[in-house]
Structure 1
Amino acid sequence: MDEMTRLRELRTDAPVPDRADLAPGRRRLTDAIEGRSRRTFRLRADWRIASLGAVVAITAAALFVTQIVDTSDPRQSGPATVAGDLDLSGPAAALGQAADFLERQEVPPEPRADQWIYLRQGSPEQEKYWKELPAEIRDRTRWSYRPDSWVPYDDKAAENDTSDTDYRTARESYRIAAGLPEDPEALLAKLRKVFPSGTGPESVPETEDAHSFRALTTLLESYPLPPDALARMYRAMATIKGVGVTDHLVRDAFGRQVVAVTRAHDQNTQREILLDPVDYSYAGRREVVIRTYVVYGPDDSDGPDRTVLRPGDILSDIARTRAAVVDAKGQKP
């Protein structure tokens, strides 16, 4: 057992402090010390969970839509106040600050070919929805709620499968990121080639800016990524037209306070990439209603299946709570 494991076990009963409260002090401590400045649960680029069929479409909408619980103004004093020296005044400031921090981090060695990538991600709403689905529907869908997943870092079979142009193995993603150019415009152009438009599962038309955002966030969901490459990605993200940053920390699916990088998806919704306010790692994604609209039932009537969605309603909310490189499938850090 190493020293860090002993330290963690020393006070296992101690309450966990709020991560946002720790952010500024932890960042300053890091700076001072350094003195230098497929397949189990796939996250697809279209952000949608695999279809469960028309028979459960309205049920899914009703169960996945959640109201924001904390209705207090997060800019006032309280648990959702912007922490310390986090600059959330705009995408250039926030993502530039994240890039500055990541550029000071040591680049760890690339995982070995025999290692595995462990991820834990999901949401209480997804788990609830899965448990409440009738067994006959669960048996017919290809989707299931499994928050823990393991994928091999070196997955040659997946690398040779070209059926999904938005999917890359962990090793492919790592090396794509490591080879990204410094120039934001060149970086985004390269990612648009890596994740081409019009070949995904929905093949919907998209503008160049929408394509850039989709391609970049698809790679961002991969793990691990070199910190210097992640810094270049954040600087490029800030240049995409329509990208914004919420001026306060928001709550993710598990109540953690996170930074939300936003971009409108259509006239009714916006997509949000969630970042850890301490180390700026990827923490999840959300799709949030920004304009009131109505979802009708199968017969397009104003019957009981009609659902009114309002600004602030959350259509999907996926949080990543753990990510690590491990030595074997089934191993947890």
Structure 2
Amino acid sequence: MIDDITALRESWSEAEPPSPEARDRARAALRARIAEHGAAVPSRPERHGRRLPGWAWRSGLAALGAAALVAGVVAAGGPDPATPPARPAPYVASGPVAQTFELAAVHAETEPFTPPRPDQWTYVELRIVRGKIAQDKGQDTRETTRSWQRADGRQSAVMLDGKLEVSTESTDLPQVTPPQDYPTLAGLPTDPRALLEWLRDRSPSGRDGDEVAYNLIDSMLRDNVLPPGVKATLLRALALIPGVTRSSGPVDFDGRPAIALGMVQDGWRQEDILLDPTTHEFLGGRTVVVEDHTTPEGVRLKEGDVEVELIRVAGRIVDAPGQTG
């Protein structure tokens, strides 16, 4: 049951919006970063084709993806001679996808954060909206999940039918992908290119490494309360994945406008990451159908259908399971 709910988690939204001064500093930092590497900052993103992300199987239903998206151009830059070997030069990226993820990364770097103690817990609350597949299976189309993960990774908890279920403490640190314990998360590579390679290596078969990396980043952003530097590096790594595209304009996400950036998987669905169009805060994810498709169970899905929305309602550090603030 805990694994199912963990798989269904997919959304982030708790942090306070930054002040106008913080936004100005973030924009200035972005422009300085791009100008430092000789890339122009266009006033308006270019608009191109469309894309879609993939099936993420959650709680017995698959998450699909689709929507009109903008093609982004991402290029990894060569080493900077002036940069010491211990700190690889930041990647050089251009196009609407890279610029949008850079703004999201700069926002992440401004978020307040206090590292948790080993005995503290990460609390994540998600609101899930499901589509036709859930209806066909008789599942709830709307659900809120509340889950806790101890910072040392040795214990977890979930709220089921109003009752708190706490797992037995593990004597050994569970080896899970993606990692959920704070020490492992905090120790991830801080260079986007190195982190992307680390994630690609998590592919069980060695194939579809970019899809695996994309889905792992999506999950890590949704399901954790991350150190600002780690969160920013994950967002910058997304800009280096080929095939990630950006919506040409705001899309509707849980009744609010959002920027959708996504990746087509399996040819007919797209997994989208949603950002606030003003602050570029991470909001959650969704699966959209980009090509008419019939599931093995006979459910007919139409282009444009949103099959899953995972809205991150809260993400914070608490002292004990069951606490929400």
TM-score, normalised to structure 1's length?
Answer: 0.61
Structure 1 residues 264 and 116: CA distance shift in structure 2, 3 A? same
Question: Which residue in the other structure is 2:259 paired with?
Answer: 259
Letter in 2 for 1:171: Y
Q: What CA RMSD, in Å, does the superposition of the two structures yield over aligned residues?
A: 4.0
Letter in 1 for 2:318: V
1:95 correspondence with 2:101: yes
| TM-aligned CA deviation for residue 271 of structure 1 | 0.8
1:191 correspondence with 2:199: yes
Letter in 1 for 2:294: V
Contact 2:250–2:258, Cα closer than 8 Å, also in 1: yes
| TM-aligned CA deviation for residue 324 of structure 1 | 1.2
Question: Which residue in the other structure is 1:86 paired with?
Answer: none
Letter in 2 for 1:93: Q
| TM-aligned CA deviation for residue 315 of structure 1 | 2.0
- What is the alpha-carbon distance in structure 2 between the residues aligned to residue 227 and residue 65 of structure 1? 29
- What is the alpha-carbon distance in structure 1 between the residues aligned to residue 323 and residue 217 of structure 2? 29
Per-residue deviation, residues 241-292 of structure 1 (Å, max 9, x unmatched): 001111222222x323222110001211111112234554432211111111
- What is the alpha-carbon distance in structure 2 between the residues aligned to residue 294 and residue 33 of structure 1? 48
Contact 1:251–1:257, Cα closer than 8 Å, also in 2: yes
Question: Which residue in the other structure is 2:324 paired with?
Answer: 332
> When you count helix as a share of all residues, which structure comes out higher?
1
Contact 2:283–2:312, Cα closer than 8 Å, also in 1: yes
| TM-aligned CA deviation for residue 100 of structure 1 | 3.0
| TM-aligned CA deviation for residue 33 of structure 1 | 8.3
Q: Matches of residues 105-124 of structure 1 in structure 2 within 5 Å?
A: 105=110, 108-124=113-129
Contact 2:196–2:213, Cα closer than 8 Å, also in 1: yes
Letter in 1 for 2:314: R
**Structure 2: segments with no counterpart, 5+ residues:** 1-12, 30-53, 69-94, 155-169
**SS of corresponding position for 2:147:** strand
Question: Which residue in the other structure is 2:91 paired with?
Answer: none
> When you count strand as a share of all residues, which structure comes out higher?
2
Question: Which residue in the other structure is 2:301 paired with?
Answer: 309
Equivalent in 166, 187, 190 of residue 181 of structure 1: 190
Structure 1 residues 264 and 27: CA distance shift in structure 2, 3 A? farther
- What is the alpha-carbon distance in structure 2 between the residues aligned to residue 96 and residue 221 of structure 1? 18
- What is the alpha-carbon distance in structure 1 between the residues aligned to residue 245 and residue 171 of structure 2? 34
Q: Matches of residues 154-169 of structure 1 in structure 2 within 5 Å?
A: 154-156=152-154, 157=170, 160-162=173-175, 165-169=176-180
| TM-aligned CA deviation for residue 231 of structure 1 | 1.8
Question: Which residue in the other structure is 2:211 paired with?
Answer: 210
Equivalent in 20, 28, 37 of residue 20 of structure 2: 28
- What is the alpha-carbon distance in structure 2 between the residues aligned to residue 212 and residue 273 of structure 1? 13
Q: Matches of residues 1-333 of structure 1 in structure 2 within 5 Å?
A: 28-31=20-23, 37=29, 47-51=56-60, 90-103=96-109, 105=110, 108-125=113-130, 133=138, 147-156=145-154, 157=170, 160-162=173-175, 165-172=176-183, 174-176=185-187, 179-182=188-191, 184-193=192-201, 196-198=202-204, 206-252=207-253, 254-295=254-295, 297=297, 306-333=298-325
Contact 1:107–1:226, Cα closer than 8 Å, also in 2: no
**SS of corresponding position for 1:271:** strand
| TM-aligned CA deviation for residue 328 of structure 1 | 2.1
| TM-aligned CA deviation for residue 209 of structure 1 | 2.1
Structure 1 residues 241 and 112: CA distance shift in structure 2, 3 A? same
- What is the alpha-carbon distance in structure 2 between the residues aligned to residue 327 and residue 290 of structure 1? 43
Per-residue deviation, residues 140-185 of structure 1 (Å, max 9, x unmatched): xxxx9552222222233286233xx424224145324xx3232x32
Give the number of equivalent residue pairs.
Answer: 244
**SS of corresponding position for 1:48:** strand
| TM-aligned CA deviation for residue 111 of structure 1 | 0.9
Per-residue deviation, residues 306-327 of structure 1 (Å, max 9, x unmatched): 4332211112221111111112
Letter in 2 for 1:312: G
- What is the alpha-carbon distance in structure 2 between the residues aligned to residue 66 and residue 101 of structure 1? 26
| TM-aligned CA deviation for residue 66 of structure 1 | 12
Contact 2:268–2:291, Cα closer than 8 Å, also in 1: yes
Structure 1 residues 330 and 208: CA distance shift in structure 2, 3 A? closer
Question: Which residue in the other structure is 1:4 paired with?
Answer: none
TM-score, normalised to structure 2's length?
Answer: 0.62
Contact 1:289–1:313, Cα closer than 8 Å, also in 2: yes
Structure 1 residues 158 and 291: CA distance shift in structure 2, 3 A? farther
| TM-aligned CA deviation for residue 91 of structure 1 | 0.6
